[in-house]
Amino acid sequence: MADPHGKFDGALEDIFDEFVALQRGDETVDPGARETAEQGTVSLLLHFVGDLAPIEARGFRTQWVEDPFARGDVALADLHALSEMPEVIGLEHGGSGAQPLLDLSVVDVQARGSASLWTVDAKNGKFTGKIGKGTFVAIIDTGIDFRSPVFMQPGSTNTTRIKRIWDPGLLPHDGITGPDKTLLLSNFTYGVEYTEQMINDALQKKSGAKPVKHQDCSGHGTHVAATAAGDGRTSKGFVDKYDLVGVAPGADIIVVKLLYLQNEPKHAGVKIEELPLFQDAVNYVESVASLSALGSKPVAINASFGWSTGPHDGLGLRDLWLENHYKNATKRVFIAAAGNSGDSHDDRNHAKIKLPGTAPADATIDVPFTVFDNRTKKKDGNHCKPRSNTSDYFEIEFWYAPIAPKAVTTSLQPPTGAAKAAPALKGTKVTGKYKIGTREFTYHITHEEKATTRPPSTAAIKRNVIRMKFLKNGDDYGTGLFKLKLTAPAGTEFFGWAGSTWPPHGIKMGPGAKKLGTLPAGMTVPPEGTIGYPGTSKGAITVAAYDDFGLISTFSSRGPLVDYTGQGVYVDKPDIGAPGEEIKATVSRDSTIGRAGGLYAEWQGTSMAAPHVSGIVALLFEKKKNLSLAQVLKALRDKARPPNNKPNDFGAGQAHAKASHDAV
């Protein structure tokens, strides 16, 4: 019987294995996957070739199709048989793990200034030039403070530029429900949608106005939105009025809250996971932007968040879906933050391992990594309602190119107890336990072959992954030093990534959470190869961060992506650089994080760089609304200012709004 795991992503492996364990009457092996396994049905992203009909006949219930991708529900009892079909290339559940990744900076990208695209009278807020009118900037993030004056119409203090807010984490209230299901990829609705009129009624405190319960308690989404499209008017009392203005202050705004939801969105009692929620978010903002009632305007979609695990080659199933989604699209462009994993002495969630010696002889290396927990509190208010901030699980993956005929073997030494041998390639899941004090902790190891395709070819290509998952016990983890022993032909390269977590607890490469410590020969923690999804996709414009000197920011993730095929890197990433350090912008009044004074925060990260480019894209759309991704990318790349670092650090160079605008 064929092993189904080769076509599953890691999250689906866990759910399927837990389902099998439940059918056998076994004690639960993975509480994090148990809820979905008990439901008996799972929602999946399918990558297929040929006709979808035989896949549907085998039990796949289609929700939507973007050939060669589809999303649908599958009974877990049918999943094994479905995976054996030659028409099925891959099945992805997605799991969890997305993390939220002006004054001088807007001048720096040549949007504001006498020789740039627009100027503003700092006394009265009168703008002259191209400011993004007739366009949308969409923010998929932690939400927005819709009450902030920087998002109001010119000359008004209570009439919004926000045309829609969709909050999937709110329950319907006061007769307000989710968006029309035709706006989503799913064939159902969920959450709450607030229209422009509802927001204005609440702002103007009209009699009978229904409450707008949406909040941004993190502040991240509000800061991002202000950088892309805020008009700066709340600067009064902090710096000169209309000093802290975003890149496209004339653009209208669409918001989807994806991160830190108050409630888990569900349909028919089943939790909606992050990946289908993200796909619905993308489709929602594009559908709203195209509504004739709102002017059918072009939209620049900003994603200042990302996932850190996966193959990092641009060929994961979700990478290919995003690429396919934007391949022939016009009037819509997706902009992604590169990530903040570039500092090898800080995050250390990435490692490169090359076994010493000369092939074909085998070599062995002990790879250290540390499970840590630096939280000072085990609850936070990012979700608006204080709740436990303990991650359901930690995971770490080591990817490598297929090796024939030699095998890779491995075992894991936990902080206490005996080492546990990992399974051979295509083996079953291995479970281990260890104790810290009197508490027992559980981990799982899998070793699988993962198939994908490299467009335009539909031929299968393969990469292998050793994946370890560490389960919580209550609100705690068994922290300490682990050592993964790898044995393979000398010269074999492994690429390791740990899932990011916030507040600070998770996995860091090396022997120690606070200090890098001594790494074994052959193991490095480089800044290269650290870009995460969705920035790894060909369907995204990926933005790295630079500092005041035009140099790549220490924290900024950078390329190149990984190549497991020998055919060369599939796509060059990142695409462009933008300012990402000490970016001062409005945050939500519901947030207490990192304020520099009043309702302002000075933050850094590629999360802050990406909205600079989203604002620039809105300015390009103002000039020519039918631009495609390829045309926008060409204008940005061709007219970028030369980088001060090597090209792979932040792509073509520093973004230049005026020159790119002139080129379209």
Instruction: State yes or no: pLDDT of 479 exceeds 70.
Output: yes
Q: What whole-number distance in Å separates Cα of residue 458 and Cα of residue 270?
A: 33
Q: What whole-number distance in Å separates Cα of residue 32 and Cα of residue 452?
A: 26
Residue predicted with more confidence, 351 or 516: 351
| Mean pLDDT score, 454-463 | 92
What's the pTM value of the predicted model, to 2 decimals? Answer: 0.90
pLDDT of residue 644: 62
Model confidence pLDDT, tens digit, residues 11-21: 888 888 888 87
Residue predicted with more confidence, 45 or 314: 314
pLDDT of residue 602: 82
Q: How far is CA 133 from CA 147, 249, 611, in A?
A: 21, 8, 17
433 and 427 Cβ atoms separated by less than 8 Å? no
Q: What end-to-end distance do the CA atoms of the chain give, in Å?
A: 56
- Residue entry with tokens 């064929």: 2
pLDDT of residue 598: 61
- Contacts (Cβ under 8 Å, ≥6 apart) of 344: 516, 525, 526, 527
| Mean pLDDT score, 244-266 | 95
Instruction: State yes or no: pLDDT of 4 exceeds 80.
Output: no
| Mean pLDDT score, 63-84 | 86
Residue predicted with more confidence, 90 or 325: 325
Quick one: pLDDT band at residue 97, thresholds 50, 70, 90? Answer: low
pLDDT of residue 234: 66
pLDDT of residue 98: 61
Instruction: State yes or no: pLDDT of 103 exceeds 90.
Output: no
Q: What whole-number distance in Å separates Cα of residue 580 and Cα of residue 363?
A: 42
Instruction: State yes or no: pLDDT of 274 exceeds 70.
Output: yes
Q: What whole-number distance in Å separates Cα of residue 41 and Cα of residue 21?
A: 15
Q: What whole-number distance in Å separates Cα of residue 115 and Cα of residue 298?
A: 26
Model confidence pLDDT, tens digit, residues 130-166: 999 999 999 999 999 999 999 999 989 899 999 999 9
Q: What is the mean pLDDT of the chain?
A: 89
Instruction: State yes or no: pLDDT of 603 exceeds 90.
Output: no
Q: What whole-number distance in Å separates Cα of residue 264 and Cα of residue 255?
A: 18
Estimate to the nearest angstrom the gap between the alpha carbon of 321 and the chain centroid.
14
Helix H or strand E encompassing 542? strand 541-546
pLDDT of residue 595: 57
Model confidence pLDDT, tens digit, residues 196-253: 999 999 999 999 999 999 999 999 999 999 999 999 886 444 445 777 899 999 999 9
Q: What whole-number distance in Å separates Cα of residue 541 and Cα of residue 376?
A: 36
Instruction: State yes or no: pLDDT of 428 exceeds 90.
Output: no
Quick one: pLDDT band at residue 29, thresholds 50, 70, 90? Answer: low
Model confidence pLDDT, tens digit, residues 380-417: 888 888 888 888 889 999 999 998 778 899 999 999 99
pLDDT of residue 54: 86
* Percentage of residues in the chain having pLDDT higher than 70: 94
pLDDT of residue 427: 82
The β-bridge relationship of strands 266-267 and 270-271 is: antiparallel
pLDDT of residue 182: 96
- Residue entry with tokens 């006709």: 51
Quick one: pLDDT band at residue 96, thresholds 50, 70, 90? Answer: low
Instruction: State yes or no: pLDDT of 324 exceeds 70.
Output: yes
Instruction: State yes or no: pLDDT of 646 exceeds 70.
Output: no
Instruction: State yes or no: pLDDT of 1 exceeds 50.
Output: no
Most confidently modeled range among 65-74, 283-292, 495-504, 543-552: 283-292
Model confidence pLDDT, tens digit, residues 592-601: 665 545 677 7
Residue predicted with more confidence, 373 or 647: 373
